[in-house]
């Protein structure tokens, strides 16, 4: 089995699960969402990339489109800094989050790890 794009929670002890890939070109802890269903330290659902051939308490996204649909749904009102606009009062101007660019970023990391 290849690396997978997954959503997961921290362990009950608040530590990072062992099924996550810690390769320098991987990622973890991206795009947190508080589902309101779990107490601290498991209140957030996070996005990461799994190690190869692992099982665990996570949900895999089988396709980039399914991941994009997830991001678009949970992040419908997300904002991100506009890196092209001048700062006002020391804060960046905000623009709508680019769900497609985020999905492309994550999936490019996943594809590169699986090609290695």
> What is the average pLDDT across 110-115?
95
Q: Is the pLDDT of residue 6 over 80?
A: yes
Chain-centroid distance, C-alpha 51: 15
The region, left, alpha or beta by phi > 0 then psi within -120 to 50, assigned to residue 103 is alpha
pLDDT above 70: percentage of residues in the chain = 100
Average pLDDT over residues 58-77: 97
Domains in the chain: boundaries: 5-115
Instruction: Between 85 and 111, name the one with better pLDDT.
Output: 111
CA-closest candidate to residue 6, choices 65, 52, 67:
67
Residue 29, strand partner residues: none
What's residue 51's pLDDT? 94
What angle (nearest 5°) sits at the alpha carbon of residue 99, between those of residues 97 and 101? 100
């Amino acid at each position: 089995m290849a690396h997978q794009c997954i959503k997961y929670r921290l362990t009950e002890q608040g530590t990072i699960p062992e099924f996550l890939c810690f390769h320098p070109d991987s990622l973890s802890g991206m795009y947190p969402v508080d589902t309101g269903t779990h107490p601290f330290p498991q209140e957030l659902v996070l996005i990461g990339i799994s190690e190869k051939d692992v099982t665990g308490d996570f949900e895999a996204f089988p396709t980039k489109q399914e991941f994009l649909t997830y991001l678009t749904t949970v992040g419908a009102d997300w904002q991100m800094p506009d890196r092209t606009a001048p700062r006002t009062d020391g804060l960046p101007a905000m623009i709508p989050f680019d769900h497609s660019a985020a999905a492309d970023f994550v999936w490019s990391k996943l594809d590169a790890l699986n090609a290695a």
